[in-house]
Chains A and B, each alone.
Chain A
Amino acid sequence: MGRSDTLIFGCGPMGQEVAEQLIGRKLPVYLYSSDLDRVAEVLAKGFDAAVLDYTDDDKLRQVGIGEWVKVIFCLFPEEAKNVFLTLSARALDPDLKIICVSESPQSGQKLFAAGASKVIDPYEISGRKVHELIARPMIVDMLEHTVFGKHLDIAEIEIPSDSCLSGNPLSALDLGGRYNVVLMGVVDVEMSDSLIFSTSGVDHKLDAGDMLVVIGPALEITRLKGDLEEDRTAQLLGG
C-alpha cells in the first residue's frame, strides 16, 4: 500500500494544533478520540476525524497501525491513556514512529519505556523559551522572524548514492559561495542521529545516504536539492 497516513489520537487543543501544522505541509491526517463530543467538535472544524476505541487492538489494526501508518501522535491529556496507546501500537508495529506529549520528566520516562520514539514536553520547551526570551531576547527575536517565521527553512538533504560528493571530506564542501544557504553540518544516519557540525574538529568523510543539514530560503534549498540530485555539484568542492 502506498499510503503513509499520520494518525493523531486525542482531539484536544494540542491535537488540533498538530493536525493544522501537518495539513499545512500537505500530509494526510486523521484524528481519533474515544470522546464523541470532541470528535464532533473537530469534524465541525473541517478535520477528518472519527470515534475509535483505542483499547481494542483490532480497531487499531483496522485504521492501519501495523500496516500502512508510519507515524502516530498520542496527544491525550491523560498520561495513562498515552502510555496504554503507545504500548498497544508498539506491539502492533515495531517500526512505527510514536510521538507522545508528556506533562513531566517522570512520565516522559514511562512513555519511552512503553516504546515511544519521541516524547515532547510542551511545558519544558515553553519554559526554556521563556528563559531564552529573558536571557537572549535579540536572538529569539531573530529566530522568531526567520527560522520560525517561515522566511528561512531548516532542511535535510540526502546525498544521492552516485554523487561525486561522496568520499570527500566535509570541510571541502563550500556551499556558501554558490547558494545562499548556511551549512550546519551533516548527519551520518548509519552511525548515529546526532549532528556533526561543519565546524567541529571532526572532519567527516561524506558518504552516500548522509544528510546535509542546511538553513536558507526555500528557493535556494530547492535549487541545491535539484543540483545534488542531478549531480551538478562537482564545482562545490573547493579546496
Chain B
Amino acid sequence: MDNTHRLIQTSYKLKDSVRYRRAKNFFYDLLENPKARIRPYFDVFMILLVVSSVWVLIYDVRHDMGLFDDLFEWVAVTIFIIEYLLRFWIYNDSHKVILSHYERAEFINQPFHAWPALREVLAKKWEYMTQPLAIIDLLAIIPTYRPLRFLRIFLLFRLFKLFRYTRSISEFVKVLNEKRIELFTLFIFMAFITFTAATALFFFETDVADGKGVGSFFESIYWALVTMSTVGYGDITPHTTEGRVVTIILIIAGLGVISFFTSIIVSAFSEKMHEIRAQRVFSEVERKHIDLIVCGYGRVGQVVADQLALDQRQFVLVDPLENNVRLAKQKGYLAALGDAADSALLESLGITTQAKRLLCLTGDDVANVYITLSARQMNPEIEIISRANHRENVTKLRLAGADHTVAPYEIVGLIAAEYVGQPVAFEAIYGMLTGQNDVGIEAVRVRSGSVLDGRCMADIGFRQRKLIPFGVVREGGCPADGSSGTYEIEDRCFHFNPTPDFELQAGDLVVMFGHEYSVVHFRDCLERGTL
C-alpha cells in the first residue's frame, strides 16, 4: 500500500469519524465560535493567564522567585502552545481539501497526485500562520526558548493576545480603522511639520556655543515631536532667535495637530457608539435565544411589552425613534434603535435563525405591510402578528404574509356597538375575555391515556368544580350531519356547549370558564389522575 493510498484512506476515515468531528466542534466552540456558551469562560481564563504571566515577568525583574517563576512560565507557555496548535488545527479541514482533490481527479478520470493536494493543505495552514493574531500568538511563545532569551521583551506581545479575548479592544481597533483616511491625512501633515521644524532647528541650532546646541538630526526630530505634542521636556531648548521663532510656529501648529487628532477620535466614537450598542443588543438576542421580535414601541407596543414582561417572556423591541428606545430601556427591556423595514436589522435579530414570532405594531400600515412582507420572505415559518390601523389593510397584510391581524379601530367599533346594545353583559364578558378579571376562559388539553380520555362530559363534574364548560375544540373537520352547535375553525371543529353524553377524545381541547383557582385545581386533579 503506497503512501497516496494511505493518505486517502485516512482522510475518509476522518471524514466519517463522529468522534473526530465532535472533538473539532468542541474546540471550535471553545476557541472561535462567538455564539458558544463556553467561549466566554475560556476567554476570561486566558485573559487571567496572560495578565498574570506578564505580571510575573515584571515582578521577576527585581525579585527572585526561584522555582515558582520557572514553573509558572512553563505552565503558561504549554497552554499557549496547545492553544496555538489547536487553532492551527481547527483553522480548516485538511482531509476535506485532500478528498476534494481526490474526488475531482476521480470524476474526470485522471490519476490522483498527492503533491498538489498537500501543497494546498500547506498553503491553507500558512494562510493561518500569517494572520496578525496568529503571529502575535507565536511571538508570545518564542521568547521562552532559552537561546532566544534576548527576545524577552517580546513577551509583552502576550498583552496583544488580549485582542483575541476582549471584544471592546477589537471594537476600538475597528473604530480607528474606519477613520484611517483622516488619520493618514493627519499623519502626513504631522510628518511634514515635524520634518520642516526639525530641519530648521538643526540648521539654526547646531553651531551654538558651549556645546548646548542640537547634536544630531535625530535629536532635532525628537525635539520637534516633544514640542509639537505639547509635552515639552525641556532637555533640548533653542537658544537663537531664529530657533525660537521656529519653536513658536511649531507650538501653534502642534496645537492644531492635537485638536485635529482628538476630534477625529471623538467623532469616530460618537458615530460608532450607536452601532456598538446595537451590537450588544444583537449578541444578547443571540445568547439568550430570544425568539420574539416586537417592531414598534408605540402605545400598542408598550401594552404588549408590559404584558410579555409580566409573563416573564423574553423579547426584543425595535423602534426607529430614539425616544421610544430610551423609554423601553428605562423599563429594562432589550431594545434596538432602527427601522424594522431594514432587512439587515431583522437578520441581525435572528429572523432567519432562532426567531419564531414577529409582531408588527407600528402605527403606520405601510410600514407594517413592508415589515410583514420582508419578514415573510426571509423566513416562511415565522408567525407574524400585525396591527392593521385601517380595515381595508387587513387583506393586504394577510396577502403580505401575516398570520393574524389586530385592528384597533375595528375593536373599538365592536365594543362600542355591543356597549350601546347591551352594556351590562358586554362589559362583564369583555373583561373576562381579555383576562382582566379573576374569572377567565381557560383551555385544558385531553392527553391520551389521561382520566379525561374517553369520558363523557356529564361525568367530569364541572359544576362541582365551579367551572362552566364552554365547548370542545377537536382536530379534524366537523361532522357532516350539520348538527347544531358545531363551528369550523380552520381545520378544527368547535363543539359549543357539548351535550352531557359527548365523549372526549385524546387531543381535544376543553374550553371552560372559571375562577383561576378552580382551573388550577382542575389541572392539578388531572395531573394526579383523580377526578
**Could you tell me which A residues sit within 8 Å of B by CB distance?**
6, 13-14, 17-18, 20-22, 24-25, 27, 71, 73, 75, 97, 99, 101, 103-104, 118, 120, 122-136, 138-139, 141-143, 145-149, 151-152, 154-156, 176, 180-185, 187, 189, 193-195, 197-201, 211, 213, 215-217
Contact = CB atoms under 8 A, between A and B. Distances in A.
B420 A71 contact: yes
A129 B411 contact: yes
A118 B412 CA distance: 12
A24 B385 contact: no
Nearest to B415: A120
B295 to A, nearest CB: 12
B51 interface: no
B470 to A, nearest CB: 6
B416 interface: yes
B18 interface: no
B420 A133 contact: no
Contacts of B359: 130, 134
A103 B292 CA distance: 26
B411 A142 contact: no
A125 B418 contact: no
15 contacts: A22-B417, A123-B302, A125-B412, A125-B434, A126-B407, A127-B303, A129-B434, A131-B304, A138-B509, A142-B494, A148-B414, A156-B424, A189-B424, A193-B428, A199-B513
B303 A154 contact: no
Interface in B412-439: 412-429, 432-435, 439
Interface in B388-410: 389-391, 404, 406-410
Contacts of A198: 468
Given A120-B415, A199-B514, A200-B515, A134 B385 contact: yes
Interface of B: 292, 298-304, 306-308, 311, 313, 357, 359, 361, 385, 387, 389-391, 404, 406-429, 432-435, 439, 441-443, 463, 466-471, 473, 484-485, 487-490, 494, 496-497, 509, 511, 513-515, 518
Given A142-B471, A145-B487, A201-B466, A155 B513 contact: no
A143 B430 CA distance: 11
A155 B425 contact: yes
A138 B490 CA distance: 11
A21 B413 contact: yes
Nearest to A196: B428
Residue of A104, A146, A193 ringed by the most chain B CB atoms within 10 A = A146
B420 A27 contact: yes
A216 B409 contact: no
Contacts of B435: 128, 132
A124 to B, nearest CB: 5
A24 B412 CA distance: 15
Given A131-B303, A217-B496, 20 more contacts: A18-B417, A97-B423, A126-B411, A127-B302, A127-B303, A129-B411, A129-B434, A131-B307, A134-B385, A138-B473, A142-B471, A142-B494, A143-B433, A154-B429, A180-B497, A182-B469, A197-B515, A199-B463, A199-B513, A215-B470
- Give the 7 A-B CB pairs with smallest separation, nearest first: A127-B303, A195-B428, A123-B299, A156-B425, A21-B417, A17-B413, A122-B408
Residue of A14, A135, A142, A200 ringed by the most chain B CB atoms within 10 A = A142
Contact of B497 (A128, A138, A147, A181): A181
Contacts of A194: 428
Contacts of A123: 298-300, 302-303, 408
A151 B463 contact: no
Contacts of B298: 123
A21 to B, nearest CB: 4
A18 B412 contact: yes
Contacts of A20: 413
Contact of A151 (B404, B410, B487): B487
Nearest to B514: A199
Contacts of A124: 299, 303
